[in-house]
Structure 1
Amino acid sequence: MLLGIDMGTGSTKGVLVDTAGAVVASETISHGMDLPRPGWAEVDADAVWWREVCAISAALTAKLPANATLAGMCVSGVGPCLVLCDADLRPLRPAILYGIDTRAHAEIASLTEELGEKAILDRAGTLLSSQAVGPKIEWVRNHEPETFAAAAGWYGSNSYIAAKLTGEYVMDHHTASQCDPLYATREFAWNREWAERICGPLPLPDLVWPSDIVGRVTPAAARETGLPVGLPVAAGTVDAYSEAFSVGVRRPGDQMLMYGSTMFLVQVIDEYHSDPALWTTAGVDPQTLSLAAGTSTAGTMINWLQSVTGRPSFDDLTAEALEVPAGSEGLLMLPYLAGERTPVFDPKARGVLAGLTLRHGRGHLFRAAYEGIAFGIRQILDRFDDAHEATRTVAVGGGLKSPVWAQAISDVTGRSQLVPEQAIGASYGDALLAGIGVGLVPPDTDWATIAREITPNPRNRELYDDLFTTWAQMYPATRDQVHRLAAADPD
């Protein structure tokens, strides 16, 4: 049997899987994040991530079928994050989370000026933003010098757990490639000049690939987790990429759309390609490359609309939106209620409704929101095509429960979406990585089975092409006014 565990934004999930990909047992523990100040997003790495990995490991080990043995495990997690630990692997402060933590804006600006925007894009493949780990390290160095001075190592979420399990100080190439500007993506290596400038005396972890076995469960870790001493542990990676791996997004041109609180997109490419509006990273498979993009809102905006329009049930909401024709009868929405990540990278962006009239109702608002998300996805996918034309698009996530949302994305982008029979999530990809790592599963194994296909409605193509042109003009046309309004925010 193989054990996969993923530490997501809202929960930690584990699955026990056999070598044919059948899920035998699963466990989930919900958690939240701490938001101690505006722009800060943190997690207690020991009390949340490690303790939940221990609890899920013990629960699933107890569910091993008779005569079955545990052959390997792998853990993924949210990322990129920053966990600073002392020499005894004790976290010195709460983990600083990925792009939703925007505290290091001054460090982003100063490092960009110091290193040069063009040089960063060329070496790292990605411009510095709130998603980057390098500026977060610089922030701790500037604002919490005593913490920085006491640190003996720095980790991502999954590499912290790997260290707790095995005692090894490693980081997978993909996570490292999101630690901009510390990693030279084109070369699959640390950019030592810049890494030493930012990390100072902090040693750099050894680089490994996500399926590499990095060590074995120590006696101390076995006592806390219930895992067998000596169990092989694969490195793991950032959860979204492990989920893409779990649904067969492995070959150049394969892409994943993840429908959730935000939308996250991954595409495998065959040659190095940098775009200031995207993230270029190392892939999950060894010596591969990926592009990625992420929005700042998606499902969170739909939840917000529900809360301010009388909290309709999801079924009622869907029925009302389905009654509205494509195009929302001239209503367009910029879905930037929490700023925006790709492709505009503007934390001061805000939501905009255009074309609102007295005839528009709640159903129009919801359809326009879904269509606004879809227009943003089209912007991203068009840029993905510049690197490698898509060969297939796999869709995953809870947002697929909305037929309006999924159909709007196919209609607006003109792309079919393949929906897997089982979209268990990153923990399933972790189990597959563990199986590959211990040699029980061939490296090219794909456990995903496609259950259905969402195809574009050709009758809506001309309408959406026209509306997309107008929608794409809305952000630059309103940016200055919106920025003035954003300056009045109480934060």
Structure 2
Amino acid sequence: MGGDPVPERAGGRPTPVVLGVDIGTSSSKGVLVDLDGRLVRSRTVAHRVDRPRPGRVEMDGRLWWQEFVALTRDLLAPGGVRVLAVGVSGMGPCVLLTDAAGTPLRPAILYGVDTRAGAQIAVMNERFGTEEILRRCGSALSSQAAGPKIAWVADEEPDLFARARRLFMPSSWLAYQLTGRYLLDQHSASQCTPFYDTDAQDWYRPWVDPVAPRLALPPLCWPGDVAGAVTAGAAAATGLPAGIPVVAGTIDAWSEAISVGAQRVGDLMLMYGSTMFLVHTVPHRLTSPSLWGTVGALPGTRNLAGGLATAGAITGWLRDLLGGPDYADLLQLAERSGPGARGLLMMPYFAGERTPVLDPDARGLVAGLTLAHGPGDLYRAALEATALAVRHNLETIEAAGGDIRRIVAVGGGTQGRLWTQIVSDVTGRAQQIPAQTIGASYGAAFLAARTGQDVSIEEWNPITAVRRPRPEVAADYDELYRLYRELYAGSRTVTHALAARQERLLTEARATRHPTAEGAAP
């Protein structure tokens, strides 16, 4: 079962295990899990994404494979294990374009935190029709969609795009490096709006060809399908046995949902991480202009999903701003601050916002500051801000026809009690917390185990705790939520103007540092 790591054997036969690796926004994680679901070893490699200018978030896709190799070699170094299969997952939807030989042409453009493609969204909505896109694809165009980001490269980097032949995401890139097979899972494809037909569950070439006629979009499979076998070259690089199966994998949030068994109709997975994600399983296709309607990670399933652009990223930023105190100290201060952070209200839109406001030009705010407020109040306000955004998403999911019967929490933010308690208090909903909350890498390992074993995620990872809302704070948080909704509506004009000013100032600064040949001094 999930829980404490399995003691490593001193001798005898090696322990049969599966490997799961996830490429995340702030780190990559690898786990070895035995066939009963017990964590044998885990390793993490931290990294930073590149933010070359406001609204642009990128990463060198070659690092994904380099980190996979480093993690795998580190996990295997102590010996005593025999890897039977490999599972992969990663942040997404991302756009990594390569030439026909699979050589990356530029850094990967990341998921909804990258908001550069606003002009392309407008053009596609005009060309294909906003309602028709929602009807055919299940989601409206937003910063989350991969299609406009591909169009951005075509518009802004045409010489480079002329050489683009293949599209990868982190999970498919790892599968390609391991097996040599070019493919993508159905769920990831369903976030490539407007290039994917959610009813046909296939690429929709009439909308692909006008934008990317020479791009050979990958054949599609399901996340748990076997992509291929580890090649001799990949085995030499990683230390894995040649010939073992590799599953196709999927986007990290959906792998997280698999890791905690949130796949039944009515389940909602709530992922606590650098960003925050919500995946709700619905009985049939549902659409909302404010959410993402996707196919699920398992055949026959459908989801309504949402996501915050920043969550744990705000607390990390705040910690750095305060000079790097321990998170434990900040949590103690935030606990003492109490509900409502002594009159503070934060808007968590530090990188724009995804659902349900779909506003790439939203910006973070802290309202109510006085000279009496301290670090604990700010930290508490940041945690409450994410909880308020989660409540907004939950209400939007139910307004779209969702029926949330069970919430399961997962991710690094579940480790401390305070954040999950605040979310339950603000939303008025209980959250189940399983034994193992490491998340996407564990879900990838579970899919790998299914290639050769009859395994159950409920047996692998049982629920061990429930966080329940406290009725005595409900009225305070109801009032704070009302103010939160009013603050966004009332400040939107100003924050949009500030976002435009930020872009203009950055453009001017870049022009000063790197003058064009025409404007340069002789």
Per the normalisation by structure 2, the TM-score is 0.87
Is the contact between residue 349 and residue 479 of structure 1 (CA under 8 Å) also seen in structure 2?
yes
Distance 1:228 1:358 in 2: 61
Question: Which residue does the alignment assign to 1:145?
Answer: 158
Question: Which residue does the alignment assign to 2:332?
Answer: 319
* Aligned pairs for 1:195-206 within 5 A: 195-206=208-219
* Aligned pairs for 1:289-328 within 5 A: 289-309=302-322, 312-328=325-341
Distance 2:25 2:374 in 1: 33
Mean Cα deviation higher: 337-346 or 33-42: 33-42
Any gaps of 5 or more consecutive residues in structure 1?
none
> What letter matches 2:427 in structure 1?
T
Match for residue 49 of structure 1 among 33, 42, 64: 64
| Cα drift, residue 64 of structure 1 | 5.0
SS of 1:488's equivalent?
Answer: helix
Any gaps of 5 or more consecutive residues in structure 2?
1-16, 507-522
| Cα drift, residue 370 of structure 1 | 2.2
Q: 1:64 to 1:248 in 2, by over 3 A?
A: farther
| Cα drift, residue 463 of structure 1 | 2.5
Mean Cα deviation higher: 310-319 or 270-279: 310-319
Is 2:431 the counterpart of 1:417? yes
Q: Which digits, 9 at most, give the CA deviation of each residue in 1:468-488, with x for residues without a partner? A: 223212211221122223332
Mean Cα deviation higher: 111-120 or 380-389: 380-389
Question: Which residue does the alignment assign to 1:435?
Answer: 449
Is the contact between residue 270 and residue 288 of structure 1 (CA under 8 Å) also seen in structure 2?
yes
> What letter matches 2:55 in structure 1?
G
SS of 2:211's equivalent?
Answer: helix
Is the contact between residue 113 and residue 351 of structure 2 (CA under 8 Å) also seen in structure 1?
no
Mean Cα deviation higher: 397-406 or 132-141: 397-406
Match for residue 12 of structure 1 among 22, 28, 42: 28
SS of 1:70's equivalent?
Answer: strand
Q: 1:404 to 1:51 in 2, by over 3 A?
A: closer
Is 2:206 the counterpart of 1:193? yes
Distance 1:379 1:316 in 2: 29
Is 2:463 the counterpart of 1:450? yes
Is 2:387 the counterpart of 1:371? no
Distance 2:67 2:376 in 1: 40
Distance 2:72 2:321 in 1: 41
> What letter matches 2:42 in structure 1?
S
Question: Which residue does the alignment assign to 2:146?
Answer: 133
Match for residue 21 of structure 1 among 29, 37, 40: 37
| Cα drift, residue 457 of structure 1 | 0.5
> What letter matches 1:84 in structure 2?
L
Match for residue 178 of structure 2 among 165, 180, 185: 165
> What letter matches 2:331 in structure 1?
T
Is 2:293 the counterpart of 1:280? yes
Is 2:183 the counterpart of 1:183? no
Distance 2:313 2:241 in 1: 40
Distance 1:36 1:356 in 2: 31
| Cα drift, residue 19 of structure 1 | 1.5
| Cα drift, residue 347 of structure 1 | 1.9
Question: Which residue does the alignment assign to 2:512?
Answer: none
Distance 1:406 1:445 in 2: 21
Is the contact between residue 247 and residue 446 of structure 1 (CA under 8 Å) also seen in structure 2?
no
Q: 1:446 to 1:203 in 2, by over 3 A?
A: farther
Is 2:237 the counterpart of 1:224? yes
Question: Which residue does the alignment assign to 1:406?
Answer: 420
Is the contact between residue 248 and residue 447 of structure 1 (CA under 8 Å) also seen in structure 2?
no
Is the contact between residue 25 and residue 63 of structure 1 (CA under 8 Å) also seen in structure 2?
no
Distance 1:335 1:39 in 2: 15
Distance 1:60 1:239 in 2: 20
Per the normalisation by structure 1, the TM-score is 0.93
Match for residue 331 of structure 1 among 338, 341, 344: 344
Mean Cα deviation higher: 301-310 or 126-135: 301-310
Match for residue 283 of structure 2 among 245, 270, 280: 270
| Cα drift, residue 235 of structure 1 | 0.4
Q: Which digits, 9 at most, give the CA deviation of each residue in 1:78-105, with x for residues without a partner? A: 1111122222222122222212222222
Aligned residues: 487
* Aligned pairs for 1:110-121 within 5 A: 110-121=123-134
